Amino acid sequence: MRDEGVFRLDGKVAAVVGAGSGIGEAVAEACARQGARVACLDADLARARAAADLIATRGDAAEAGELDLRDGKAVEAALGGLRARHGRLDIAVCTPSINVRKPILAYSDDELDRVLSLNLKGNFYLLRAAGRIMTAQGAGAIVLFSSIRSRVVEPGQSVYASTKAGIVQLVRTAAAEFGPRGVRVNAVAPGIVDTPLTAPIKADEKWHAAYAAKSVFGRWARPEEIAAPTVFLVSDAASYVTGTVLFVDGGWTAADGRFSPPGM
């Protein structure tokens, strides 16, 4: 007998950081559709409000807030405020990242600091703030966003790839530390996704086609195709899943090359 209720998030309070666009917006909408009350948090308050308003027009509960993930105190305040208003925080999802595509020898100190500050330190701040609340209440689910670049790289991806690999280790450590107190921590590792962040790649016909060819489906992912697996990880359907990395990459990291031997 199927129990679709395990995928529902009714009565849960969810914080989605990066909800103003792309994958974060899709995750916020997906959580709301499953019954969660969603706080759409983003560095761009106008975009966060637009995402929350769209959710509200569909009859689901949502609110918006401005959050600079690089500010540890602001992260603590934002999540603490949610707990104060709603009595708990059940779900925290963190999607933002930046990438400066440059060879190692051309990287500046400022560029290094920019990428590390958001991708690694920002995720740490979110993980720590959510972990403090959830371990105290004895329940919760956290999802950080890694990438296929935690496993495979290309020229120009040194710092970005390092941060995405670092997120995996943060998730594994947090899973070990928080698990005894009822909190699950996992990562989603997307491949190439059609979002505003990847618009410059999509605008280059050869670059767009090369990335599409890396998927066994021959196409890019849509944001909602990343959101659905994320909702699975924060739902009770994944109650025994923690410390794992879910690759949602269309087979990018599974298929080694594109040559099919004779007879295949």
Q: What CATH number corresponds to the domain at position 73?
A: 3.40.50.720
Residue 56 is assigned to a structural domain of this protein: yes
Amino acid letter, residue 24: G
Q: 138 is in which domain, residue-wise?
A: 4-248
3-state secondary structure of 129: helix
Nearest residue to 66 (alpha-carbon basis) of 39, 36, 92: 39
The mean pLDDT of 72-97, rounded to a whole number, is: 98
Domain-embedded: residue 65 = yes
On whether residue 253 sits in a domain, the answer given is no
- Whether 2 has a pLDDT exceeding 60, the answer reads no
Q: What letter would DSSP give residue 241?
A: -
Mean per-residue pLDDT, 128-144: 98
Number of separate domains in the chain: 1
Mean pLDDT of 126-152: 98
Asked, for residue 256, whether it belongs to a domain, the answer is no
Can 240 be counted among the known catalytic residues?
Answer: no
Do the domain assignments include residue 254?
A: no
On whether the CB atoms of residues 91 and 34 are closer than 8 A, the answer is no
**Average pLDDT along the chain:** 95
What's the length of the chain? 264
What's this model's pTM, rounded to 2 decimal places? 0.95
Query: Would strands 37-42 and 13-17 be described as parallel, antiparallel, or unpaired?
Result: parallel
Please check the confidence at residue 62 and state whether its pLDDT lies above 60: yes
| CA nearest neighbour of 254 among 148, 147, 162, 161 | 148
pLDDT at residue 238 above 60? Answer: yes
pLDDT of residue 258: 64
* Residue of 107, 125, 160, 211 marked active site: 160
Average pLDDT of the segment spanning 227-239 = 98
Distance CA 144, CA 83 (A): 20
What pLDDT sits at residue 49? 98
- Determine the 3-state secondary structure of 208 from DSSP: helix
pLDDT at 199: 84
Q: Is residue 129 part of a domain?
A: yes
Residue that the structure tokens 């670092």 belong to: 166
Percent of the chain with pLDDT over 70: 96
pLDDT band with cut points at 50, 70 and 90 for residue 1: very low
